[in-house]
Amino acid sequence: MDFSALGVFAAIFFLRDPGTRLIGALGQTVIPRLSTYFATGQAGKFLRLLLKILVLSITLGVVFVATSSIAGASLLRLVYGDAYVSYADVLVLVMLAAAIEFIGSLLGVALTAMNELRVHQYIFAVSVVAMVVTGLLLIPSGQLHGAAWCIVLASTIRLSLSLCAITYAWRRFPKKSTV
């Protein structure tokens, strides 16, 4: 991939930033309550709040993917000019990765609230290794599409491993406290 293609990919990748910031702010807002619910053994409240924020993240992801699918070419033309219109299909893949990452990010917030801090490093390490391996395999032949699929795969792995970690940690949810 040459530098001009890398620039195109970076510009397209940047369009996911508003959603990433929104999800990050949402996670920072709810983590104190999730932590309190976990520490005091209020599993029902923890789960209800987690499900609410996950529904919000899924909704945002669907909006990003649908918008890029329906109006991706127009959006790229408006933001970057006619030269980017032919990359609308790459935009859809990048937004798919973003949608998956939104969910994974909030699952990471839940893991932090459950005091499962060490697991993050393993989840990210596996995701990075998967991204490097798939990048070596997909980018030379697929160029921007290969890079986008690489990110979709890494985001899916992060999401899957986070779900597994939450399932495992859930078994150690404290008993309800009278505090």
Among residues of the chain, what percentage have pLDDT more than 70?
98
CA distance 120 to 140: 30
106-138 pLDDT, tens digit each: 999 999 999 999 999 999 999 999 999 999 999
Query: How far is Cα of residue 125 from the mean position of the Cα atoms in its chain?
Result: 15
Site of tokens 């996950």: 54
Please check whether residue 47 lies inside any domain of the structure: yes
**Token pair listed for 49:** 């709040």
Please check whether residue 177 lies inside any domain of the structure: no
Helices (H), 15-118: 17-39, 43-80, 88-113
Contacts of 169 (CB under 8 A, 6+ apart): 111, 114, 116, 119
| Residues spanned by the domain of 53 | 3-170
Please check whether residue 150 lies inside any domain of the structure: yes
Given pLDDT bands bounded at 50, 70 and 90, which one contains residue 69?
very high
Q: Is 172 helix (H, G, I), strand (E, B) or coil?
A: coil
Number of domains in the chain: 1
Work out the angle at residue 173's Cα, subtended by the Cα atoms of residues 158 and 179, and round it to the nearest 5 degrees. 130
Please check whether residue 55 lies inside any domain of the structure: yes
Please check whether residue 178 lies inside any domain of the structure: no
Q: Is 40 helix (H, G, I), strand (E, B) or coil?
A: coil
Please check whether residue 176 lies inside any domain of the structure: no
What was the pLDDT predicted at 179? 53
Please check whether residue 175 lies inside any domain of the structure: no
88-98 pLDDT, tens digit each: 999 999 999 99
Given pLDDT bands bounded at 50, 70 and 90, which one contains residue 177?
low
